[in-house]
Structure 1
Amino acid sequence: MNRSLVRASAIALAAALGFAMPAHAAERTLPSSQAEIQLSFAPVVKQVAPAVVNVYATREVAARASPLFDDPFFRQFFGRDPRQQLQPQRRQQNSLGSGVIVDPSGIIITNNHVIADGTEVKIALADRREFECDVILKDKELDLAVLKIRDPRGDLPSVPIGESDALEVGDIVLAIGNPFGVGQTVTQGIVSALARTRVGIADYQFFIQTDAAINPGNSGGALIDMSGTLVGINTAIFSRGGGSNGIGFAIPSDMVKVVLESAKRGSTVQLPSIGVDMQPVTAEIAESLGLDRPTGVLIATLDPGGPAEKAGLQPGDRIVSVGGVEVSDPREFNYRLATIGVGNVADIEIDRDGRIDHLKITLQAPKKVERPQEVRVQVRGPFAGTTIADVTPGIARELGVPGEPSGVLVTRIDPRSPAARVGIAPGDVVLAINGEEVVTTADFMRLAQTSPLLWRVTVNRQGRVIRMAFR
């Protein structure tokens, strides 16, 4: 009995038993020729791999003094402070990552953390050519950087930038980079998820998640689709042990385009703002609004005279989509604005009391956030070694703290201080100490000078309220 007759019999039997054949069942077939068995990703890899480079960044750091210098007897034997008698020691520290040539003239995109604070940056191609590079743009918030080869000397391979918005969950992707410094490596996987926003990698969060193996050294490498176009820059892995656990994250290529355009203009990256505070629509809010599922973001407050207020947005409006793309998280909303760009017009769909409307808003660069005066905490106790500042509305928005500004921001912390030992970290917003609300730095300093048997501290850390207790 031939294959087609067997298949027809199976379909007839399924129909007789009342089973519905899946719509895609007709598309599944066994390889029918030697050529199909030998299908490979090699043509795509050959097309793209020459444009994926190794990035080497060198910086000078101060060498740590010997701990013997902290010993009173040692200091007495060699003098008041032997560290003052020695010239500060400097040593070179190297970082290794990957990058992608996106223009034949020698423009390279990589991660900011790969080249951060580097005094000398070099790249090596797959054909073993090496070049020195200039850093023409770096953005810590987006964790992206743009390099330019100083003297290309000949043709350079490059990768076309694709549309990351065209990706769908389940699409096959390849990750190309230099893991662990062993040399160029290719791994294959699928798109596991899109629009990941609660990852904790960069300040401006919107990531493609993939199960293609990504390891240290892959940072800045290429995530490509089956047409050989760049759809993402590999950035980080989710791992407790430092190795790949099948959860990797990449910055979408649509954001890469924004950074490259800024680099070509010779300016920094400006991320637009419409002057609103937002909150996601939870299941409880969706039920109260009569929605069949949680979707969109709610406008909480508006800046007086800001773009949103001028366009007619009101507190309580629910933003449904931007440019026809549905949004369900404030970070996703900000990402959509960023890909549209400052000076351009965003088509925002809103739901106001059950009525759908469209507003056109011209995107503007956000106003510069005024930094409040910092206060160094020098009292004895668990807060010694911290530097704090009041939380202004602008800083609260940067930190993603909803509602009215509240608490005191920990801006810096001495890594050897008591505060570091008890678990307080830079970026924490201290909300309460020993049950008393902390509103200003004066409140913080007053409460920090008390001497309770047990300290109870409430902080907001990246949107999560954490309660700590320590002696």
Structure 2
Amino acid sequence: MSLQRFLHDWAIPGAIGLIVAAALLFALPHLRAPQQATSPSTEMQGPVSYARAVNSAAPAVVNIYTRKQDPLSNHPLSNHPLFRRYQKERSQPSLGSGVIVDTSGYILTNYHVTAGAEEIAVVLADGREAQATPVGSDSNFDLAVLKIDLPNLTAIEVGDPERAQVGDVVLAIGNPFGVGQSVTQGIISATGRDISNTREGTYPQSFLQTDAAINPGNSGGALVDAYGKLLGINTTVVEGRDYTGGISFAIPANIALKVMRDIIEYGRVVPGWLGIEARTVNPNLARAFHLPSTNGVIVTAIYNNGPAHLAGLQPGDVITHINGDPINDGEHGIAAMATLRPGETVTITYIRDSQVHNTEATVSEQPRPREQT
């Protein structure tokens, strides 16, 4: 074969084909061979920054400064220099945090932050200041509602604390030690913590536990998820002689908002009531009642003519869901009750004689002890 024919039949068409193929790969990158799959360790790495979450939530978190009246101001020795110095020390403002949950100016904070305060000043993240008006509070839930009158307020976006899982990244935003708004980072260490036996007057509820640093002044601030959505109101830490940090608690946002709505509407907290007494299902009870698991709470008593009685529930029934949400144990059951409101109709899923049933009950307000039968 002559060189001229070889070039005409093979070399020139081949070169043109290579040039066309290269051009197509450059113009259409999806035709290229797929790259090696990302390793599992790389896929599980979190974001390098939570700035977007902070930028979303921080404008709704406020610093709270309160001043309490000194009950000794009318003491006979009030004009003595040493006494005036003592009074000055006592009148120093206390510090705390709060969360704007409504653009009309409603703020959630802790009861212990504002209890007994004569003056409450709020400083926003943008530097604006306002005097806050107390709307109401409840010491059992350690929650208080304030109201400020300022334009262009940013309300925090609320997340779903019921879906929070151990290991989820969380951020605590508040005013620790009065240094100004600060952010700490940690994870959800546990859910459904009942700490009512550690604090006098605390209503039993399912707290979120976190290892994000919570210091004096953080009380009433926001615990948010990695997207900046509110999961809870930071309220307390474990205290002890050798305590070095790492165990803090937050009131779940759904409970806090229910308390706020009650305070605004009724002037007090009105816990929902189904008219039952119940206990956690342990392995022995699960075997005795032929239950597939220990999830749920077993009804031990029914109040006559109460919502549960009128809905057909009986002692021995095992409640597994309320409005489709699982009741995994006694603490979750108490938390679920805390979010119910009188007049609300709920769907209750329960097990009786190994059969699953559903019924509806209209929640009522708990009557006084003498009214219960």
Q: TM-score, normalised by structure 2?
A: 0.78
CA displacement at 1:358 relative to structure 2: 1.0
1:137 has 2:150 as partner: no
Distance (whole Å) between structure 2 residues aligned to residue 325 and residue 52 of structure 1: 30
Distance (whole Å) between structure 1 residues aligned to residue 222 and residue 203 of structure 2: 21
Structure 2 CA distance for partners of 1:86 and 1:368, relative to 1, 3 Å: farther
In the other structure, the counterpart of 2:25 is none
1:156 has 2:184 as partner: no
> How is 1:179-218 mapped onto 2 (pairs within 5 angstroms)?
179-198=176-195, 200-201=198-199, 202-218=202-218
In the other structure, the counterpart of 2:67 is 58
Distance (whole Å) between structure 1 residues aligned to residue 46 and residue 325 of structure 2: 39
Identity rate of aligned residues, in percent?
40
Distance (whole Å) between structure 1 residues aligned to residue 194 and residue 266 of structure 2: 29
CA displacement at 1:93 relative to structure 2: 6.4
Structure 2 CA distance for partners of 1:287 and 1:304, relative to 1, 3 Å: same
Residues 261-281 of structure 1, C-alpha deviation per residue, up to 9 Å, x if partnerless? 234435322111111121212
Equivalent position amino acid for 2:186 in 1: G
List runs of 5+ in structure 2 lacking aligned partners.
1-34
Distance (whole Å) between structure 1 residues aligned to residue 97 and residue 264 of structure 2: 21
**Backbone CA RMSD of aligned residues:** 3.2
1:339 has 2:339 as partner: yes
- The answer to whether the 8 A contact 1:216-1:243 is kept is no
> In structure 2, the residue corresponding to 1:340 is in which secondary structure?
coil
Distance (whole Å) between structure 2 residues aligned to residue 98 and residue 122 of structure 1: 11
CA displacement at 1:117 relative to structure 2: 2.0
Residues 64-119 of structure 1, C-alpha deviation per residue, up to 9 Å, x if partnerless? 9xxxxxxxxxxxxxxxxxx9x879x9864643211011222221111111111222
> How is 1:25-174 mapped onto 2 (pairs within 5 angstroms)?
26-29=39-42, 39-63=48-72, 92=91, 94-149=93-148, 151-152=149-150, 154-174=151-171
> How is 1:263-342 mapped onto 2 (pairs within 5 angstroms)?
263-265=263-265, 267-342=267-342
Structure 2 CA distance for partners of 1:39 and 1:345, relative to 1, 3 Å: same
Structure 2 CA distance for partners of 1:176 and 1:244, relative to 1, 3 Å: farther
Structure 2 CA distance for partners of 1:38 and 1:364, relative to 1, 3 Å: closer
Q: Which has the higher contact order (CA 8 A, sep 6+)?
A: 2
Residues 275-296 of structure 1, C-alpha deviation per residue, up to 9 Å, x if partnerless? 1121212232223333454222
- The answer to whether the 8 A contact 2:296-2:321 is kept is yes
- The answer to whether the 8 A contact 1:177-1:186 is kept is yes
- The answer to whether the 8 A contact 1:101-1:108 is kept is yes
Equivalent position amino acid for 1:127 in 2: D
- The answer to whether the 8 A contact 1:214-1:244 is kept is no
1:259 has 2:272 as partner: no
> In structure 2, the residue corresponding to 1:277 is in which secondary structure?
strand
Equivalent position amino acid for 2:50 in 1: F
> How is 1:346-365 mapped onto 2 (pairs within 5 angstroms)?
346-365=346-365
> In structure 1, the residue corresponding to 2:254 is in which secondary structure?
helix
Provide the aligned length of Structure 1 versus Structure 2.
328
Structure 2 CA distance for partners of 1:39 and 1:93, relative to 1, 3 Å: closer
In the other structure, the counterpart of 1:237 is 237
> In structure 2, the residue corresponding to 1:312 is in which secondary structure?
coil
CA displacement at 1:132 relative to structure 2: 0.8
CA displacement at 1:239 relative to structure 2: 3.3
- The answer to whether the 8 A contact 1:281-1:328 is kept is no
1:176 has 2:177 as partner: no
Distance (whole Å) between structure 2 residues aligned to residue 225 and residue 45 of structure 1: 10
List runs of 5+ in structure 1 lacking aligned partners.
8-24, 65-82, 371-391, 395-471
Residues 415-454 of structure 1, C-alpha deviation per residue, up to 9 Å, x if partnerless? xxxxxxxxxxxxxxxxxxxxxxxxxxxxxxxxxxxxxxxx
- The answer to whether the 8 A contact 2:206-2:334 is kept is no
